[in-house]
Amino acid sequence: MMPIIRLKLLKLIYRSAQLESPTSRLSPCLSRSHLCTSTELLESSDSQRTPSWLDFGHYPGGSENSDSGDDFSIPSLAEWARTFPPLDRNRFGLRPEGAPEEIPDVERICRILRNHHRSPDDVVGALIGCGVSPSKSLLEQVLRRFSNDWISTFGAFSWAKSHTGYVHSPEVCNLMVDILGKSKRFPLMLKLVEEMSGTEGYVSLVTMSKVIRRLAKARKYKCAIEAFKTMDHFGIDKDIKSLNILMDALVKGDSVESARETFLAFKEEIGFNLESFNVLIHGFCKCRKLEEARTIMEEMKKDGLKPDAFSYTCLVEAYCHEKDFRSVECVLAEMMENGSPPNTVTYTIYMHALGKAKQIKEALGVYEKMKSRGCIPDSSFYSSLIYILSKAGRTKYAQEIFEDMEAQGVTRDVLTYNTMIAAACQRSQEDVALTLLKKMEEEPCKPDLKTYAPLLKMCMRMKRMRVLRFLLSHMLQNDVSIDRATYSSLVIGLCTSGELDQACRFLEDMVSKEWIPKDTVCKMLIKKLERAGMLKEKERTEKLISSVRQ
């Protein structure tokens, strides 16, 4: 770390007791766990109409407090927003009369898929005659853009397959398998795998990993185990690697007990390695069964394996969740004593937990301890440090550390940007948040759903409907698919902001994808519509909700 940043951190360590309380609490930015096993890397309307986000700014009954078209983006970013592809005049049917329209193939397909379709067959019918020839790159982009909409993606997948001369690649097939699994369309998913098996080399460990993980996440543990048992029928070895994948999927599906039973059942037949035990240790720590985790450690020693930094870091993370920092210190000492010293991940988890517990001085002190033991900060460490400083109201220091990362040879990744953007959005700093989003595009660093979530909430809170429209288009352009939780958040946020027309339309979009809204979301919208005297909209919404719950 450069001397100037080190000096500032040292000052913060000794001055942190005088830090003023933040005016508002940040929601945790580092929601994904720093711990992961290596196996994780394998991984309705009567008429068709344009979805709601393409109609913002051109609808009746908009709130008088909503932002106008002239100030839909802050001046410093007006040019960027104006020239961004999804917002140009051609995009929204505002092309000058007589001017030719040039639309990329992927946009032609996406325009059709954004309409409401009742079934994959309807999608196929809509795509016939669209003038586009399918290709591997086209299908991959379409499937990623609509990865949370199985009807659109499976329709596009089927349409492409029907073209003479076109054959799906294994990569496209694996994407489709994962989308169907995520949507819990398991019969279709398994049927597709069976079809893939007819072509040599199409069904791989990657394919079966997706099947197993999706089944386990849906708590279909026996089905996941059966899928593992049948892998040899597809020419895939049931070896230590695939067994660890199964165990890891069961742990992430909240059944460490099933993972342990599976391990014991196949241990003698297949074998095991350090990762096998670490998956179980992580699983028991995840559900706060620390005695069982310690038992696994003893078992691995009996089998001739030594716990490593990952093994102990699972314990550290579990104690951090309990805010039992005394036990954390004991584990750190044990790691040093047993020759498995803490690494950057261990210290990052510890520092982050201290920061969340508002023990800022102690959190910053972890850096000194880490530095003295030769651990080099990485992007996750910086992200955690930025989060802690932002939460404590020290945004200037957070910004300086963010800017200094490049000088230290540490690449700012999506987690770093998400941390900065979430902090800016919490403080309603629209200029700062959008500038960071633009900077991601320049670096380049591809945004994900967690990038946009706080931005969307900020726009709805500030009633910035045109910015919201821009962000939703920006998401699509970056192949980020809106999921069920985002739809719910949009409906709730628009209700709260008084944009009831748009809330209704997002609910319709949600239902068209066969996602059943939660009772709380439906009740809020119906109550708001009744209070606003929008009785026709209330009746339509009630019928819509009733139809999907039958």
Within 10 A of 84 (CB to CB), how many other CB atoms are there? 18
Q: Which long-range contacts does 517-522 make (Cβ < 8 Å, 24+ apart)?
A: 517/487, 517/488, 517/491, 517/545, 518/488, 521/488, 521/491, 521/492
Kindly list the distances between the CA atom of residue 511 and the CA atoms of 9, 449, 507, in Å, as whole numbers in the listed order.
50, 20, 6
Tokens of 444: 């380049």
What is the structure's pLDDT at 102?
Answer: 63
In 451-474, which positions are buried (b, 16+ CB within 10 angstroms) versus exposed (e)?
Answer: bbbbbbbbbbebbbbbbbbbbbbb
Distance CA 151, CA 179 (A): 10
Nearest-CA neighbor of 449 among 424, 415, 426? 415
What is the structure's pLDDT at 329?
Answer: 95
What are the backbone angles phi and psi of residue 356, rounded to the nearest 5°? -65, -30
Nearest-CA neighbor of 332 among 351, 347, 353, 352? 347
The per-residue pLDDT string of the chain (550 residues; one tens digit each, 9 = 90 and over) reads 444 454 454 444 444 434 433 333 333 333 333 333 333 333 333 333 333 333 333 322 333 344 433 333 333 443 444 444 443 333 323 334 444 456 788 888 988 998 878 899 999 999 998 889 999 999 999 999 999 999 999 999 999 999 988 999 999 999 999 999 999 999 999 999 999 999 999 999 999 999 999 999 999 999 999 999 999 999 999 999 999 999 999 999 999 999 999 999 999 999 999 999 999 999 999 999 999 999 999 999 999 999 999 999 999 999 999 999 999 999 999 999 999 999 999 999 999 999 999 998 899 899 888 888 888 889 999 999 999 999 888 888 999 999 989 888 899 999 999 999 999 999 999 999 999 999 998 888 999 999 999 999 999 999 888 899 899 989 988 999 888 899 999 999 999 988 999 899 999 888 888 888 889 999 999 999 999 999 999 999 998 888 776 5
DSSP string, 460-476: HHTT-HHHHHHHHHHHH
* Angle, CA 53 vertex, CA 52 and CA 56 arms, to 5°: 90
Place of tokens 């920061």: 355
What is the structure's pLDDT at 34?
Answer: 38
Question: Is residue 385 within 8 Å of residue 367, measured between CB atoms?
Answer: yes
What is the structure's pLDDT at 550?
Answer: 58
Kindly list the distances between the CA atom of residue 448 and the CA atoms of 344, 477, 480, in Å, as whole numbers in the listed order.
25, 12, 6
Distance CA 547, CA 550 (A): 6
Q: How far apart are the first and last CA of the chain?
A: 60
What is the structure's pLDDT at 544?
Answer: 87
3-state secondary structure 272-316: CCHHHHHHHHHHHHHCCCHHHHHHHHHHHHHCCCCCCHHHHHHHH
Tokens of 457: 């909430």
Write the single-letter amino acid at 110: C
Distance CA 100, CA 203 (A): 44
Distance CA 474, CA 113 (A): 17
What is the structure's pLDDT at 546?
Answer: 83
Distance CA 241, CA 266 (A): 12
Q: Is 358 helix (H, G, I), strand (E, B) or coil?
A: coil
